[in-house]
Structure 1
Amino acid sequence: MRVSYAPARWLPGPHLMTIFARLARGPAGLAPRRERWELDDGDFLDVDRHGEPGAPAVVILHGLEGSSRAPYVLRLVAACAARGLSSVAVNFRGCSGERNRLPRLYHSGETTDLDRVVARLVAERPGRPLGVAGFSLGGNVVAKWLGEGGERLPPEVRAGAVISVPFDLARCADAIDGSGGMARLYRARFLRTLRAKALDKTRRFEGLPFTAAEVRACDTFARFDDAVTSRLHGFAGARDYWTRCSSGRALPGLARPLLAIAAEDDPIVPRESLPLEVARHTPALRLETYPAGGHVGFVSGRPWRFEFFAEARAATFLDEALRR
């Protein structure tokens, strides 16, 4: 089931759509309130808050190696603000522009920090409606958290919305580790900063489960997740990490409405990884698939007046859910 979306004709193909959406500037005029939240494990989260404190709020999680100020996050912030919703854009550990304090980083299945954020917001204003939203890796975290939490989630959490989610991490890793030129481009972009962060850890901490030489040898996602992500966060290896952290396996447990927006031409999330069958048997999951849109793209309109469909669609869905 889906609503109407007309892809921008001047961005033919998924790669142009994906790259343009990533490079396009976010909305101007936003004035976030940056806050540092100290955590009980000695680390911290940096969050950007927008809007009126008493308004229904949306917690927003960015994608791999993004931040709270990524253009796609700011577009969702603006779309929420236009509907009278406040927002809390969260930076994963080490993604706010400042190194986190502990050896650990973040990963696709790390839901405990989202749990901390929601618990804090509930404690601040009991009864205030909350939504959760995420892009790509952040969307996987949101979907996994909602599915695993089920009926146990706080009643304040009313709904979620996710865009371009890697529901099956193994298949998505295979796609980005592919032999094509664009796959190599995406892979190089992400691994450049991931390796830099891991190398920084080897300089700052002793006794890590990987060496600098092993980090430098990581030229695919499979190798990085096998050598770094899995070892650093307690998994038996890349396959174990991918299996346990893929949100697709948690979706049958959903007890809150979840909108999932996906493009069938996504170069990072293959169509066969989408939870089409699960959506048929899970009333709480609204999976909207579109023939085109790329990865966190979904550009529409004309070159001199373009729009971003997915962010607007997610904001509308959340607004309706939080106002009920």
Structure 2
Amino acid sequence: MAKRNANTKDLFASLSGIPRYSYKDIQKATKNFTTVLGQGSFGPVYKAAMPTGELVAVKVLSSNSSQGEKEFQTEVLLLSRLHHRNLVNLVGYCIDKSQRMLIYEFMTNGNLANFLYSDSPRILSWEERLQIASDVSHGIEYLHEGAIPPVIHRDLKSANILLDKSMRAKVADFGLSKEETFDDRKSGLKGTYGYMDPDYMSTNQFTKKSDIYSFGIILFELITAINPQQGLLDYINLAVIGEDGKADWEEILDKKLVGRSNPEEVRLLADIAYKCLHKTPRKRPSIADLTLSISSIRHRRLINSDTLPSSRSDDASGILGRIESQQVELSNMTSLRSYMLPQA
């Protein structure tokens, strides 16, 4: 343990600009760790009020986790040099005996996954979802194209997209991130089921295009509010099987958006998202191209005053009923397909 402490202190000795706090400082700020915001693979996250009055989130590393120690070091070292309005800001850290903590700006509205999958009465509007897509793409673009050397996130998912008081999105959780290298060294599979690039899972090589795949999944979450761990890909694949060869994204649109979104914008964003999932990584778009494409959808809104469908509410109700019946049918088809698969 003494060796671990010495090595870590040496590691952070050269860091500048990020305040270091004692365990007692954090204990006081969190009121003895009483307000839990969440629980991640790294450890619990607490709400805290610093002496300045600033609200922060404190992520505590489980003391018996050697993997967590690596993630802690990665996150502090990366975030000490990465600064962008669409990345969560690291405002401090704690190394005190066996204690390891990361201190972030407080994001008032929590994470995107909670908004999409909780029973909260608050509905994300289509405008907000487009803005979130744009914010996330800008954050990733900074990592891939603006950082020197470039950084691959490796764990992009809706739970790692945090929302501030104005519902603007920031990318968080850089514990698994890596600076881009151009050698053939491989590391163990890391990431989150449902968001992991199939090519990465088969080759064990993670590239920028693996991040693009994960971003495509997040875009489809915004469109459908279907959890990637609960059959999202099945719904996507069924939606693209059409008699005319064209995808019918309306079939899997989040029913909360029916009558409250622009069908053409939904189609454009879904087409963009689908390109991100191309089975051949090199055929997926770059993040710069994605940012431009999403910006063009938002620009389209500005030049069209008619952003909402012109149909009346009774028409919207009819569409809603049709989508609900289609989704039941899709669910049945998915179950049937699973049943027909040969057993191992």
Q: Which of the pair has the greater relative contact order for Cα pairs under 8 Å at 6+ separation?
A: 1
Larger Rg: 2
TM-score, length of structure 2 as denominator length: 0.27
TM-score normalised to structure 1 length: 0.28
Point out the structure with the larger strand share. 1
Q: Which has the higher helix share?
A: 2
